[in-house]
Amino acid sequence: MTLGCLNTDGEALPVWTQKEDIIEFLGGRSPRKVFSSTLTRIGESFAGAIRVPYQLEPGEEKVISFTISWSFPNHYIHNVFAASHRIGNRYNTLFKNSADSFEQFARNREKLEGGTLLFHDMFYRSTLPVSLLDCVSSQASILKSQTSMWLEDGTFAGWEGVVVSGGCCPMNCTHVYNYAQTMACLYPSLEREVRSKELGIQLMEDGLIHHRLTLPLSEPRSSGEALDGQLGTILKLYREYRQCSDDSFLRKYWQPACKAMDFVFRNHDPQGDGVILDRQFNTYDDAVYGINPFIGTLYLAALRAMEEMARHMGNEDLAAQCHQRFEKGRERIVKECWNGEFFFQPGDLTKLEGRNYGAGCLSDQIVGQWWAHILNLGYLLPEDQVKTALDNLLKYNWLDKLGDHKQLPRVYAAPDDPGLLNCSWPNGGRPEIPILYCDEVWTGIEYQVAGHLLFEGKVDQGLHVVSGARSRSNGKKREGTHPSGVGNPWNEIECGDHYARAMSSYSLLLAAQGINYEGPRGKLGFNPVHQPEKHASFVALADGWGAFEQKIEGNRQIASLFLAYGKADLSELGVNLPAGVKSINTIQVTRGKDQLASETRLEGSRLSVALKDSLKLTAGERVTVEISWAT
């Protein structure tokens, strides 16, 4: 570790071993002995100190900047395969040691601090509610917590969460990270690195994807299948394609993705019916069996994503096969799983293995539809049923006070706290051994449901869930929770601290701004559901980020994208006009003061603006679309 000072008038005491030395030094006197910096012996530590002498007159100010930098290159992993294997840290390749870290920071301080403050300004210069911004930004810190590791060879490895003794549940668990959206938007290259492992070293010859990354990478894969994670890998590959500036990543991993999907076809849907009936191990740490909307909608979403990717890759036969399975599966889920209020798991549970939820109202019941909205795949199930299911999900699973509800097997909220139960049985029929964790409250599920509510235009309901969930993280300790002390605003706990599932929170931003981005095709559109008449929100694209703004006054609408950092290649822009607008009077597209030639297409309320020449936007530039219509 290195203690540094950015002031040129600083003085250093490299080593002190007795309190008299540091007292003399801080008192302005030179120490009695002059120590030289040296390596310490095992079990022995030295301390150092820096002082900056100064005098202030009344009304004067002086800024003194100290830094602490560190370098721990000898990062080891211990598991049943390798008693001790060095994996290192990525910063080992960037800095020689902690002193080098300090020196590079000192040289680049203005740039680093400027970029940080610019990001902060873009993110918080927003009309979105404070509770939403707080939720998204606070849980982005998971990427900087001990949950997340960037190893020396470039591998990203994430625990589910962390505990006192280390990490909990290694690594990159596909079913937990099925919910996380933050890294894919803020650090898309790192997210692509995770996909490269799932569709590389974790992919077996038969197409099975082991749901946990084993470290070191040289050891055997051993975690087995998690079906929701297997399907999620297909969804995430399509997400990563959309968050790229070209299709090279998709082309590289297209054949592995086909192998992974074929594994599902052969082993779980051999009849091609679009439904899965056999063992479905999942994020609730057990398996459900039989037709159900939880795994069922994830399968439908994966089929639609695979259809879109296949069509892009020119494989019309596979696209048609996926669409056929999708239509059959959709029909069966609607017919067999809809009870008029919500989607449930039908069948005689006494004849099914595993831990099922049956007649229960599962908060994850249509998680695949949440994914479909994120990826702009349309409705998997009838829109009216989706909206009704969400209304009743809140009606039955949301408690303004948990009260005497028994949270089992773990307690994550106090009796006076609000929360969304993972499952309830409003009409009876709770199995003797129900789906595991059904009585718990998980923020990762709450944010998924809240994001879905926003996607459906149910803004007040979605924000109510967000503010309620975040109210449990107000800094106040909650005695009797597991572990005791739940309430840290920067640490939402599930199976461990800084739990990765909470990064589902980023979907709140995506839903609120209604973004539809397909980087390789240069298509970018917005349909904000929160304050569309005066909206501003942060936007992260493939190679840059900035802010989207929209104003609607009378018969005039102005939408703009300001790129604060990086670059963006755009060929088509899209916005939604107010209801009732049938035709356009004028439209003008500008880059700064320069007008851009374009062609427009109005379909319903959606206005698409195709640029005649592809636009290469750079940092500091703004593109604006201004529209007027007859009143």
3-state secondary structure 300-337: HHHHHHHHHHHHHCCCHHHHHHHHHHHHHHHHHHHHHH
Q: What is the pLDDT of residues 384-420, one digit of tens each?
A: 999 999 999 999 999 999 999 999 999 999 999 999 9
pLDDT of residue 508: 99
DSSP 498-557: S-GGGGGGHHHHHHHHT-EEEGGGTEEEE--SS-TTEEEEEEE-SSEEEEEEEEEETTEE
Determine the pLDDT at residue 487: 83
Mean pLDDT of 346-374: 97
Q: Within the chain, which residue ranges are assigned CATH 1.50.10.10?
A: 125-512
Residue 561: pLDDT over 70: yes
**Run of H or E residues at 455:** helix 443-455
pLDDT score for 590: 98
Q: What does the alpha-carbon distance between residue 110 and residue 71 come to, in Å, rounded to a whole number?
A: 22
456-477 average pLDDT score: 95
Tens-digit pLDDT profile for residues 144-173:
999 999 999 999 999 999 988 788 999 999
The yes-or-no verdict on residue 8 having pLDDT over 90 is: no
**3-state DSSP call for residue 1?**
coil
298 touches 228 (CB < 8 A): yes
- Residue 377 and residue 302: Cα distance in Å, rounded? 10
Cβ atoms of 389 and 365 closer than 8 Å: yes
Q: Average pLDDT over the chain, rounded to whole?
A: 95
Res. 30: pLDDT tops 80:
no
Q: Grade residue 247 by pLDDT with cuts at 50, 70 and 90.
A: very high
β-strand pairing of 398-399 with 419-420: antiparallel
Q: Are 485 and 539 in contact (CB under 8 A)?
A: no
CATH, range 125-512: 1.50.10.10
* Residue of 467, 411, 415, 483 whose CA lies nearest to 442: 411
**pLDDT at position 311 over 80:** yes
pLDDT beyond 80 at 485: no
269 band by pLDDT with thresholds 50, 70 and 90? very high
**Chain centroid to CA 355:** 28
Q: How many beta carbons lie within 10 A of that of residue 28, not counting itself?
A: 9
Q: What superfamily would CATH give domain 518-628?
A: Golgi alpha-mannosidase II (2.60.40.1180)
Segment 420-440, tens digit of pLDDT: 999 999 999 999 999 999 999
| Separation between Cα atoms, residue 421 and residue 278, nearest integer Å | 26
List the one residue out of 574, 568, 575 whose CA is nearest residue 610: 574
Q: Phi and psi of 621, rounded to 5°?
A: -100, 160
Name, in order, each residue with C-beta under 8 angstroms of 45's C-beta and a sequence gap of 6 or more. Answer: none
Within 10 angstroms of residue 534's Cβ, the number of other Cβ atoms is 12
Task: State the amino acid at position 354 in one-letter form.
Answer: G
Q: How confident is the model at residue 26 (pLDDT cuts 50, 70, 90)?
A: confident
Q: What is the DSSP string of 46-58?
A: -EEEEE------T
For residue 225, give the DSSP letter: -
Beta bridge partners, 563, equal 546
Structure tokens given for 585: 């009077």
> Which has the minimum average pLDDT: 40-54, 123-137, 442-456?
40-54
> What is the pTM for the complete model shown?
0.96
Lowest mean pLDDT, pick from 11-20, 89-98, 271-280, 388-397: 11-20
Q: What pLDDT score does 78 carry? A: 78
Identify which has the larger pLDDT, 584 or 37: 584
In this predicted model, what pLDDT tens digit does every residue of 270-310 receive, in sequence order? 999 999 999 999 999 999 999 999 999 999 999 999 999 99
pLDDT of residue 42: 84
Structure-model confidence comparison of residues 535 and 29, the more confident one: 535
Instruction: Return the minimum-mean-pLDDT range out of 25-29, 445-449, 476-480.
Output: 476-480
Domain with CATH 2.60.40.1180 in the chain: 518-628
- Looking at residue 520, its pLDDT comes to 99
Helix (H) or strand (E) holding 562: strand 556-576
Distances (CA, A) of 211 to 42, 141, 166, 197, 322: 39, 24, 20, 11, 23
pLDDT band at 83 (very low <50, low <70, confident <90, very high): low
Output the pLDDT for position 80.
58
Position 33 scores a pLDDT of: 54
